[in-house]
Structure 1
Amino acid sequence: MSQQIPKIQKVVAVLWPSFLTAALATILFFTTFDPVLLGELAGYGEISRLGGYTIGFFLFWLLTAGTCALTCYFQRPCDKPGPLA
C-alpha cells in the first residue's frame, strides 16, 4: 500500500528550508556587498538599502526554492525499466 504525502507537506518541505537558506544567504551576501552600490553599478539608479535587501532576499529564496524543488523531484523513485528491444 502506497502512503501519499499531503500536498501542503510537500510545499512546506520546499519553502521552509529554502526560506532559511535564503535568509542566511542574504545575511552573508549583504555583509559583504552594499545594495545601494550594487544598484548604482548595475545601472538601476537609486535604490534604498531596504529595497535592495528585499529584492536580494526574494531572489535568493527563488533560487533556493528551485533547487529544493528539484531535489524533491529527483528523490522520487524511477519507473522500472522495461526489457530492451
Structure 2
Amino acid sequence: MKYRLLIWILWPSFLVAGMAEGLLFTVIHPQDLLFFGHHPDISDEGIYSIGFFAIWTFCAVSSALTAYILPGIESPDGKGIDRGLL
C-alpha cells in the first residue's frame, strides 16, 4: 500500500510540474534570471532541470499533504477508525 501511495503522490505532481515548467520557461528565459544580482554559471539545460525538480518537489509536498489530511472512516465492526491512505 505504501508504494501505491507514493505513486499517487509522485505521478500527478510530476505531470503538474512538467506543465508548470513549460509555462514558466515560456515566459522567462534562463539567461534573464538573476540570483542575488548575479547570473548563475549554469547552462540553460541545467536551469531547466533545477527548475523542474524544484517545482516537482513543491507539487509532491502539496500532494502528500492532501493525502495526509484525507479523513478516515469508521471501520464496519466499530473497533476503530481507518486512517484512509496513511
Could you tell me the TM-score, scaled by structure 1's length? 0.78
Measured in 1, the distance between the counterparts of 2:53 and 2:6 equals 17
Show the counterpart of 1:57: 52
C-alpha RMSD of the superposition: 1.8
* TM-aligned CA deviation for residue 76 of structure 1: 3.5
Sequence identity of aligned pairs in percent?
A: 40
Show the counterpart of 2:84: none
SS in 2 for 1:45: coil
Structure 1 alignment gaps of length 5 or more:
1-5, 81-85
Give the structure with the larger helix fraction: 1
Asked if the contact 2:31/2:39 (under 8 Å) is kept, the reply is: no
Does 1:35 pair with 2:26? Answer: no
Show the counterpart of 1:75: 70
Measured in 1, the distance between the counterparts of 2:6 and 2:70 equals 15
Could you tell me the TM-score, scaled by structure 2's length? 0.77
Measured in 2, the distance between the counterparts of 1:23 and 1:51 equals 15
Question: Do the aligned partners of residues 47 and 36 (structure 1) sit closer, same or farther apart at CA in structure 2, a change above 3 Å counting?
Answer: farther
Show the counterpart of 2:20: 25
Q: What amino acid maps onto 1:17 in structure 2?
A: P
Give the structure with the larger strand fraction: 2
Structure 2 alignment gaps of length 5 or more:
74-79, 82-86
Q: When the two structures are aligned, how many residues end up with a matched partner?
A: 73
Asked which structure has the greater RCO (Cα within 8 Å, sep 6+), the reply is 1
